C-alpha cells in the first residue's frame, strides 16, 4: 500500500473538520477524492502532507507512519502537492516559480535537467519562462503549478482542485499530461468537485461528506450506484 489513512480526525481549532476518514491509494493508481465545498477535501490533503496534526488515526506512506512528519519531510519522502488556488508567486518569472519546487537536495542538484523535463511536458512554459507568472492565463498558471510540484520527482502527486479557472481545452491538455505522468510511474490523488471531470482521469474514488468518507469504489460501480447519483451527479 502506498498511502493509507486510517480513521483520521482533524480539528481546526475547536471545530472538527474530519471525523473518521479512511482511504488508501495503491502504487500506480489514479484516485479521486470527491466532495462538495467544505466537505473536508483540502483538510484531508493537509493531513497527508503534515500541514495539520491528526487528532485521531494515522497516515502511512509505504508502510511508514507519517503522522508527525513535517511538510518538508513529506516532500523528501516523494509526496508532492499542487495546492488549491495554485499559490504561485505572481511577480516572479515562470522559471523562478518552477525553481521553487526544487526543495530536495537531489532536485536542486538536477535542477536544469528537471526544468527541461517540465518544458517538454508543457512547451508553452519554455516560451514564457522569463515572463512573470501573474501575466499568464489561468491554464498556463496551472501548468506552472503542476510543473513546480513535479520538480521534486514525486512518486505520489496530490492535486487539490486544479481545474478552477482553467478553460476546458486546457483541462484536457493537463489531464493528458497527468496520464503521461502516471505512465512514468507516478501515483495520483486528485481532489475534484466535478464527478465527470474526475472520472475522465480517475478509475476509483472516495466521496467525502461533512468530514466523513461516505462512499467509495471503482468508477463504474459508483456511476451505477443510486446513492452516488443522488448525492453527486447534479454537482458541479
Ligand atoms: N484553517 C481553517 N480554520 C478553521 N476552519 C477551517 C480551516 N480550513 C478549513 N476549515 C473548515 O473545515 C471544513 C472543511 O474545509 P476544507 O477541508 O477546506 O473543505 P473542502 O476542501 O472540501 O472545500 C469547512 O467547514 C471549513 O470551513
Ligand atoms: Mg478545498
Q: What is the pLDDT of residues 139-175, one digit of tens each?
A: 999 999 999 999 999 999 999 999 988 899 989 989 9
For ligand 1, atom 1: residue with the closest CA:
12
Find the residues whose C-beta lies inside 6 A of ligand 1.
12-13, 15, 17, 35, 37-43
Using 50, 70 and 90 to split pLDDT, how confident is the model at 236? very low
C-alpha cell at 41: 477535501
Output the CA 38–ligand 2 centroid distance in Å. Answer: 7
**Residues 108, 111, 114, 116, Cα dihedral to 10°:** 170
User: What's the rounded Cα separation, in Å, for the pair 129 and 122?
Assistant: 11
C-alpha closest to that of 20 among 53, 65, 48, 55: 55
Using 50, 70 and 90 to split pLDDT, how confident is the model at 189? very high
For ligand 1, atom 7: residue with the closest CA:
12
- Hey, CA dihedral for 111, 112, 115, 121, is it positive or negative? negative
C-alpha cell at 93: 518569472
User: What's the rounded Cα separation, in Å, for the pair 231 and 52?
Assistant: 28
Amino acid at each position: 500500500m502506498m498511502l493509507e489513512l486510517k480513521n483520521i480526525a482533524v480539528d481546526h481549532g475547536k471545530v472538527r473538520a474530519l471525523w473518521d476518514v479512511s482511504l488508501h491509494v495503491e502504487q500506480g493508481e489514479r484516485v479521486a477524492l470527491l466532495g462538495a465545498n467544505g466537505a473536508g477535501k483540502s483538510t484531508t490533503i493537509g493531513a497527508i502532507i503534515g500541514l495539520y496534526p491528526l487528532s485521531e488515526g494515522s497516515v502511512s506512506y509505504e508502510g511508514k507512519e507519517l503522522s508527525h512528519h513535517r511538510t518538508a519531510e513529506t516532500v523528501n519522502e516523494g509526496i508532492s502537492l499542487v495546492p488549491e488556488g495554485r499559490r504561485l508567486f505572481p511577480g516572479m518569472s515562470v522559471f523562478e516559480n518552477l525553481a521553487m519546487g526544487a526543495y530536495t537536495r537531489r532536485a536542486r542538484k538536477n535542477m536544469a535537467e528537471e526544468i527541461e523535463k517540465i518544458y517538454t511536458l508543457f512547451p508553452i512554459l519554455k516560451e514564457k519562462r522569463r515572463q512573470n507568472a501573474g501575466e499568464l492565463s489561468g491554464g498556463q498558471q496551472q501548468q506552472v503549478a503542476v510543473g513546480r510540484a513535479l520538480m521534486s520527482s514525486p512518486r505520489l502527486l496530490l492535486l487539490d482542485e486544479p481545474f478552477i479557472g482553467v478553460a476546458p481545452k486546457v483541462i484536457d491538455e493537463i489531464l493528458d499530461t497527468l496520464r503521461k505522468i502516471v505512465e512514468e510511474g507516478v501515483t495520483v490523488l486528485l481532489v475534484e468537485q466535478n464527478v465527470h471531470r474526475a472520472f475522465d482521469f480517475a478509475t476509483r474514488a472516495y466521496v467525502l461528506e461533512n468530514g466523513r468518507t461516505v462512499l467509495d469504489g471503482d468508477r463504474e460501480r459508483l456511476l451505477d450506484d443510486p446513492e452516488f447519483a443522488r448525492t453527486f451527479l447534479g454537482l458541479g
